[in-house]
A and B are shown apart, each in its own frame.
Chain A
């Protein structure tokens, strides 16, 4: 059969971000994948050299729309190491708390995307509805759904009260119950199992050879997690298991992520229970003494690496960022070999490449009166519930149940 090369991207409905794939097919089967990346390159490393450390912290928080806290924390950990700052334990716990809440929102987001890519949109609707619980918790703690701005050089910008911390226990209870349901779906629902098994296979040796990180690597039995192997923040004090799987395929990546959610709840409970009292910042110098540091961080998508070189001024000499997606994209060509063209979207989605999610309010324009009003999130939510109820779809009972657990009126 004659070979056909199909271009996918850089702008394509199956992609959430611009990337360009040139896929050579024999019939439906993928023979070779050629990738062109860089469409989102914004020159952040160069821009960091022209800005102060504190400005850079805000800039790198915007490297990614999902793991924003991962990048800002990875960056300032390196800066603090060079400056020799002893960040107070309470600040380390708060950073760890935000990091794990971020992992929850990222993994639930991924679960929805994965459901969507295989036509299981009910899973998308369910998991994104539940994800709102953790988004609300993050917004209540930090003021933002993403880009939390919690970090500062030498500590964190906000302290939390005991009530705020304790309220997270209810949040975790709800999320844990929902996650148990997703684990049930992942392990018992035959449609999901059959659709994901054997798709996007990455054998263990290839995962090691190509440097796969995070859940992508762990689903190919690469037992690697920076939180355990190279502890940072408060992880050395906390107990958790690293979830690995031997399926080597998209199904395995699903099991690893839902399994990791359960470990994350375990971590959040420990943080709430054992967070030490004390200050949340130490004074940091504006000029950072000359030096260099390599910082690693287990972001939701895998190992994030930052290298910072300081030259004694208030601006870094060099900042190098290696986000986990770049490491994982090296494995995508291997995953796609001998798969069907139709498996491209879910295989790509299974490494969880990043995209932005920041909307929190909607402006409603009334064409008759020309009046514009802003709808609050809660009003939009109520509108959605009424809209569906009017069409015979009623989530009221489930919402009441979730609301009761969170201690609020549904």
Chain B
């Protein structure tokens, strides 16, 4: 049976709290918003039980008080399931998706650099994609960031070392 038909009943069957949160945007495109604390379990279920074995990429969004991360998972039959999680901007910590998708670490490094996410469990490695001398505390994809802030970095940084 194509995954498009099983995603909603199986996800809602396993996680009743999701029943109203699964949206079919168009054929082969699902979005589900995960409640706090359930992301890891839902992602494992989508990977292991529903067969979404590919991670296309992770999109980071600055939504005011929160940062949201959209994990776009793909099934070999062409269905895409986007699992959305939100964390407070003041404490934007998430666990790495690496144990399920080792290829996803580069996307997580991008979230660290561009949006200031903190990803627990990322192995040591180079940052991506910003240069080594990039000032701390400047996250270009946050909505309040302007290129002019680079001209006067000290005024906008909280100090400390880069967390990636």
Q: Give the B-binding residues of A (Cβ under 8 A).
A: 34-38, 41, 43, 45-46, 81, 208-212, 223-224, 226, 228-231, 292-294, 296, 303, 305, 307, 309, 317-318, 320, 322, 326-327, 329-331
Contacts and interface: CB of A to CB of B under 8 A. Distances in A.
11 contacts: A37-B126, A38-B127, A45-B141, A211-B55, A211-B103, A224-B54, A224-B76, A230-B28, A293-B25, A293-B26, A329-B106
Nearest to B30: A294
Contact of A330 (B72, B76, B103): B103
Contacts of B131: 38
A320 B102 contact: no
Q: What 4 pairs across the A-B complex have the smallest Cβ distances?
A: A38-B129, A211-B103, A229-B78, A322-B57
A144 B147 CA distance: 33
A296 B80 contact: yes
Given A322-B56, A329-B106, A41 B78 contact: no
Chain A CB count within 10 A is highest, among B55, B78, B101, B140, for B78
Contacts of B101: 209, 211
A35 B80 contact: no
Given A38-B127, A46-B140, A305-B57, 20 more contacts: A34-B125, A35-B126, A36-B126, A37-B106, A37-B126, A37-B128, A38-B130, A209-B102, A210-B102, A210-B103, A212-B103, A223-B76, A224-B76, A230-B28, A293-B25, A293-B26, A307-B59, A320-B57, A327-B57, A330-B106
Interface in B103-141: 103-107, 114, 125-131, 140-141
Interface string B19-63: 000000110110100000000000000000000011111011100
Contacts of A36: 126, 128
Contacts, number: 93
B80 A208 contact: no
A274 to B, nearest CB: 23
A37 B61 contact: no
A330 B61 contact: no
Contacts of A294: 29, 56, 72, 80, 82
Contact-size category for B? 35 or more
B92 to A, nearest CB: 16
A330 B127 CA distance: 14
Nearest to A43: B140
Where chain A touches its partner, the secondary structure class is: mixed
B102 A330 contact: yes
B87 interface: no
Chain B CB count within 10 A is highest, among A296, A329, A331, for A296
A303 B56 contact: yes
A357 to B, nearest CB: 23
Contacts of A326: 57, 106
B38 to A, nearest CB: 21
Contacts of A231: 78
B7 interface: no
Contacts of A330: 102-103, 105-106
Nearest to A45: B141
A81 B102 CA distance: 31
A211 to B, nearest CB: 4
Contacts of A210: 102-103
A327 B80 CA distance: 17
Contacts of A296: 56, 74, 80
Contacts of B28: 230
B70 interface: yes
